[in-house]
Structure 1
């Protein structure tokens, strides 16, 4: 979530530089900075773009070993007519330098890693997470 243009470069730059690895990590930073610049408008440079209206609702492990993991992460946000819209994003992780690191998505954008889902059923729910339907 913190590797998102919404939070501004004070948040997304160190998140991506320190926690994202792989051949597309630099592309992710470039794409995120480009999106931030496009949406910044009249805001001072470095400012957050505003509130985000998405929450993390749950996850499901796809695979796990001592040095790699794959999981699907469910996020939810407002849609049309007060309906909650959900998406699941596949994350690949690798244990490196004493911590789990996210492998950058192919091409440096999360779009191809996410898909719409109708509900969080079948996923492990985060405590106090999510919103209504």
Structure 2
């Protein structure tokens, strides 16, 4: 049985046409959620070669005034989770109290945090190369009452 039947050929042609129509429609009218039949813009665009690069971090201040980097290891919260909900934290900084609670739960011997903040470091970029300059911006902060 080395030859394909006529019915088999028609099924392959129809499947190919259907995929082609879905790809074309997704390319013209789709959004990232339509992947693989829509564009996946993350890989289709590039950053501004002269725009600042964003580096987000979460840090807290303990009762002794020391700055503590909040990491997945000491809080159980991944940085990507914070970045994904950045807008919600900016709108309601009190949500950062949950980060302080997670830190305390995962770091029982550590001093309690009196504040938690999300800090964005904007790294200067010129002609797609770091300039060596940066500036920090606190975009959300919670303080224990």
Q: TM-score by structure 2 length?
A: 0.24
Q: TM-score by structure 1 length?
A: 0.26
Higher strand share: 1
Structure of higher CA gyration radius: 2
Higher helix share: 2
